[in-house]
């Protein structure tokens, strides 16, 4: 695929392979799962894209034996995520409703 990092079914494997090539070991890696909002209503039988993406990510992490350290998923509010890996790492979640969290 052109952009393997774009979709949940391929992105996690690609990311883990890259992390291992940089010296990480799987048993020290944990995940923060953020996103999966249902921001658009198409019909009463919504496509549930956010829910499906979240489920795919969590399933893939489980297969890869990666522990989920933090999760903020679902809802109706979109999010942008900013991550700085230096030191112990810093994750900032900015939500479309104007709220912000540092994790």
- Kindly state the helix (H) or strand (E) to which residue 29 belongs, with its residue range: none
CA end-to-end span of the chain: 32
Taking a C-beta distance cutoff of 8 angstroms, is the pair 90, 83 a contact? yes
pTM of the complete model beyond 0.75: yes
User: What span, in angstroms and rounded, lies between the C-alpha atoms of 27 and 38?
Assistant: 32
Structure confidence by residue, pLDDT tens digits, 16-60 = 999 999 999 999 999 999 999 987 766 555 678 888 889 999 999
User: Dihedrals φ, ψ of 82, to 5°?
Assistant: -125, 130
CATH of 8-77, one of 3.10.20.30, 3.30.43.10, 3.30.1330.200, 1.10.10.60: 3.30.1330.200
- What is the arithmetic mean of pLDDT over 74-100? 93
Rounded Cα distance, 26 and 102, in Å: 25
| Domain coordinates in residue numbering, the chain | 8-77
* Mean per-residue pLDDT of the chain: 89
Provide the percentage of residues in the chain whose pLDDT is more than 90. 66
- What pLDDT, on the 0 to 100 scale, is given for residue 94? 98
Q: What is the dihedral of CA 73, 60, 64, 2, to 10 degrees?
A: -110
């Amino acid at each position: 695929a052109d952009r393997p990092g774009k979709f949940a079914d391929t992105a996690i494997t690609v990311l883990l392979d890259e992390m291992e090539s940089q010296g990480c070991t799987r048993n020290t890696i944990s995940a923060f799962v953020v996103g999966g909002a249902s921001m658009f209503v198409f019909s009463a039988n919504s496509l549930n894209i956010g829910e499906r993406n979240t489920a795919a990510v969590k399933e893939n992490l489980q297969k890869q034996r990666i522990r989920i350290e933090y999760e903020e998923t679902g809802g109706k509010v979109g999010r942008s995520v900013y991550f700085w890996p230096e030191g112990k790492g810093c994750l900032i979640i900015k939500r479309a409703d104007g709220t912000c969290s540092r994790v």
